[in-house]
């Protein structure tokens, strides 16, 4: 029995998303920028999907821009800062490399980059407040950690920035990498009041290589890569319409049934927490974590335990698996979360999706017990 528990790295493409991909590739093959009838048909389909995604996210279609994934969405947002007069950028210490890799670039361009600590993975308002100064122009905190699943209080953090900003003459941009939040926790862009967010299709059973950038105020956003003016000049390049259609289909499955999906994920998470603890593993994810991610400390070095699971047909990962430097990255983030080095070195991440069943969770617990008991 082969079981997949590495859904925070990527999920399996759903059948419906695959069908949408194939249908769109066949029916809407033309370039949405072409002015002939086929091109206009493709453009109409693209805008229909944008409306549909906007409806699901509770925003206007003019605020959404398709990209090649969250890495590009983050890159588009952060590179746009290079047009501005430099100021202070505050980011959390637990950000994904897609975001943290921008800090040296900003630094080189004269930005003062500071990081706000995260206590046990959670960024506190009081710690953020201490760093806010009149030259602050950007605050960026991810919505859900891809390593531990910790859910950050984005609404509270953003409110605290808005309060501070009221004494200034400029707006402080608030960005939140929301890849691991979409469909997996209650999440409302309008309620959060943030200025930008990144999303990725392949974390919700959509295809790889397609993502979304949300901009609260697109008018004030200036891209470094407008190229042919596609996506309102925010992201140049021919739109990947079949992947966009598959993203919509995947998003429907996750967002239109979010409550039920999350209730089922909670049941599985509870089973896993209980069973894996009984098996002798330590749960490192706090209770305030996404039900889709569980970080554990095992009695073995991470790679050894991941290998033992893999030999028994179970895919899991040692922390974050979505980087070529996954181990180093996860350990950096775990250190920032205050996890002791010996525990971080033995950490394993289990991540589920909506296609994970209770029987899969039972099988995982049974296998872990066998490994720990040396069978």
- By the 8 A CB rule, do 366 and 321 touch? no
- Select 286 or 323, whichever has its Cβ closest to ligand PLP: 323
Q: Which two tokens stand for residue 216?
A: 């609260």
Question: What backbone phi and psi angles, to 5 degrees, belong to 158?
Answer: -70, -40
Rank residues 241 and 368 by Cβ distance to ligand PLP and give the closer one. 241
Among candidate residues 169, 210, 214, 245, the one with its CA nearest the CA of residue 77: 214
Q: Are 306 and 365 in contact (CB under 8 A)?
A: no
| Nearer to ligand PLP (CB atom), residue 43 or residue 234 | 234
Instruction: Closer to ligand PLP by CB, 42 or 179: give it.
Output: 179
- The HSE-up count of residue 196 (CA atoms within 13 Å, CB side) is 28
Say if residues 357 and 3 touch (Cβ distance below 8 Å).
no
Q: x/- contact string, 97-136, with ligand PLP (CB under 6 A)?
A: -x--------------------------------------
Query: Does position 91 bind ligand PLP by CB under 6 A?
Result: no
Structure tokens at 354: 């909506």
Closer to ligand PLP by CB, 101 or 335: give it.
101
Select from 71, 223, 354, 356 the one that contacts ligand PLP (CB under 6 A). Answer: 71
| 10 vs 356 by CB, closer to ligand PLP | 10
Would you state the structure tokens that stand for residue 293, as one six-digit string? 């991610």
Answer yes or no whether residue 330 interacts with ligand PLP by CB under 6 A.
no
Phi-psi region of 237 (alpha: psi -120 to 50; beta: other; left: phi over 0): left
Q: Which range in 53-61, 69-77, 157-165, 221-229 contacts ligand PLP by CB under 6 A?
A: 69-77
Pick the stretch among 37-45, 107-115, 174-182, 360-368 that binds ligand PLP (CB under 6 A): 174-182
Active site residue 322: yes
Shortest distance (Å) from residue 248 CB to ligand PLP: 16
Query: What is the residue-wise DSSP string for 317-331?
Result: BSS--SSTTHHHHHH
Whether residue 265 contacts residue 354, with contact meaning beta carbons closer than 8 Å, is answered with yes
Candidates 104-112, 176-184, 247-255, 285-293 — which segment interacts with ligand PLP by CB under 6 A? 176-184
Q: How far is the CB of 365 from ligand PLP (least distance, A)?
A: 25
- Restricting to residues 310-329, name those near ligand PLP by CB under 6 A: 322
What is the number of H-type helices and E-type strands within the chain?
14, 12
* Inter-axis angle of helices 241-255 and 258-278, nearest 10: 70
| Closer residue to ligand PLP in complex, CB, 6/177 | 177
Q: Give the H/E segment covering residue 262.
A: helix 258-278
Number of residues that bind ligand PLP (CB under 6 A): 13
What distances in angstroms separate CA 27 from CA 35, 65, 239, 355, 360, one per listed residue?
17, 22, 15, 29, 38
Nearest distance from C-beta of residue 208 to ligand PLP, angstroms? 7
Query: CA nearest 204: which of 249, 241, 244, 239?
Result: 249
Candidates 172-180, 236-244, 290-298, 345-353; binding stretch for ligand PLP (CB under 6 A): 172-180
Tell me the window of 33-41, 67-75, 76-84, 267-275 that interacts with ligand PLP (CB under 6 A).
Answer: 67-75
Instruction: Tell whether residue 200 is a contact of ligand PLP (CB under 6 A).
Output: yes
For residues 150 and 181, the answer to whether their CB atoms sit within 8 Å is no
User: Could you say whether residue 142 binds ligand PLP (CB under 6 A)?
Assistant: yes
Which H or E element spans position 200?
strand 196-200
Q: Which of 113, 158, 160, 322 is catalytic?
A: 322
Among 11, 146, 240, 302, binds ligand PLP (CB under 6 A): 146
Q: Report the distance separating Cα 57 and Cα 64, nearest Å.
A: 10
Catalogue the active-site residues: 322
Residues that bind ligand PLP (CB under 6 A): 69-71, 96, 98, 142, 146, 177, 179-180, 200, 211, 322
């Amino acid at each position: 029995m082969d079981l997949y528990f590495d859904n925070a790295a990527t999920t399996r493409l759903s059948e419906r998303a695959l069908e949408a991909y194939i249908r769109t590739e066949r029916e809407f093959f033309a370039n949405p920028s072409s002015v002939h009838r086929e091109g206009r048909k493709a453009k109409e389909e693209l805008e229909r999907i944008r409306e549909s995604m906007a409806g699901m996210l509770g925003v206007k279609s003019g605020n959404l821009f398709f990209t090649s994934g969250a890495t590009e969405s983050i890159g588009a947002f952060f590179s746009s800062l290079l047009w501005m007069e430099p100021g202070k950028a505050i980011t959390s210490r637990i950000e994904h490399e897609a975001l943290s890799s921008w800090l040296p670039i900003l630094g080189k361009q004269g930005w003062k980059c500071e990081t706000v600590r995260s206590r046990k993975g959670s960024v506190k308002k009081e710690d953020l407040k201490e760093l806010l100064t009149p030259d602050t122009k950007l605050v960026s905190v991810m919505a859900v950690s891809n390593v531990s699943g910790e859910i950050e209080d984005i609404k509270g953090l953003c409110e605290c920035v808005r309060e501070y900003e009221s004494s200034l003459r400029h707006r402080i941009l608030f960005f939140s990498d929301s890849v691991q939040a979409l469909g997996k926790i209650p999440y409302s862009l309008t309620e959060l009041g943030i200025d930008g967010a990144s999303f990725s299709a392949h974390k919700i059973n959509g295809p790889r290589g397609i993502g979304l950038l949300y901009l609260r105020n697109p008018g004030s956003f200036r891209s470094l890569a407008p190229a042919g003016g596609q996506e309102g000049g925010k992201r140049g390049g021919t739109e990947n319409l079949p992947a966009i259609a598959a993203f919509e289909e995947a998003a429907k499955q996750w967002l239109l049934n979010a409550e039920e999906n999350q209730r089922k994920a909670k049941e599985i998470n509870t089973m896993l927490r209980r069973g894996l603890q009984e098996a002798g593993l330590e749960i490192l994810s706090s209770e305030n974590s996404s039900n889709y991610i569980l970080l554990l400390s095992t009695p073995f070095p991470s790679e050894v335990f991941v290998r033992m699971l893999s030999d028994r047909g179970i895919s899991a990962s040692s922390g974050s698996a979505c980087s070529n430097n996954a181990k180093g990255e996860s350990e950096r983030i775990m250190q920032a979360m205050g996890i002791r080095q010996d525990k971080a070195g033995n950490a394993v991440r289990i991540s589920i999706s909506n296609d994970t069943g209770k029987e899969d969770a039972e099988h995982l617990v049974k296998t872990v017990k066998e490994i720990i008991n040396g069978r």
